[in-house]
Amino acid sequence: MLIESKTVNNKDFGNLSFLESNKDIPFDIKRIYYIYEVPLGTKRGMHAHKDLKQVLWCPYGEIDIVLDNGIEKKKYTLNEPNKLILVGSGVWRDMYWKKEGAVLCVAASDYYDESDYIRDYDEFIKLVKEGYWNNENKL
Ligand code: TYD
């Protein structure tokens, strides 16, 4: 789901965008991480999460994010600092670096936990079919 951050524009001094937990982002933020110095054309992601929810944005550059809930796919292009996407639980993501120097920032609902990852696409589809997310894994 697309989220637009609130932004204070000033033609002389530039823009300031902001997001607040439980207001603009529908969870408490427990972790922030960012991915940078990624070679152009790189594909990352290739996993889903059992529970984790995340908000992704690209403060500089261009990154394509392809989301897949096992039934349909949706592609988002992150190329503006105030354009963000909410990626809920049970959504497979593939991410493509489209511009040199592009940076991906992520705000996450929980601490890092490898056991929350699903890195095998067949296992992901199996869980979708079993109704693991009760069809609530919207794109
Ligand atoms: P991963 O989430 O697989 O990155 P991407 O989907 O962008 O390719 O994480 C890459 C590696 O970094 C993996 O070994 C797990 C580790 N990692 C942490 O240790 N802490 C974190 O908060 C994150 C997001 C990843």
Per residue in 93-121, pLDDT (tens digit) is: 999 999 999 999 999 999 999 999 999 99
Q: Do the Cβ atoms of 127 and 49 come closer than 8 Å?
A: no
45 lines ligand 1 (CB under 6 A): yes
- pTM assigned to the model: 0.96
36 lines ligand 1 (CB under 6 A): no
Residue found by looking up tokens 């790189």 in the block? 42
* Residue 135 banded pLDDT, cuts 50, 70, 90: confident
Q: Do the Cβ atoms of 70 and 47 come closer than 8 Å?
A: no
Q: Determine which residue's CA is closest to atom 19 belonging to ligand 1.
A: 112
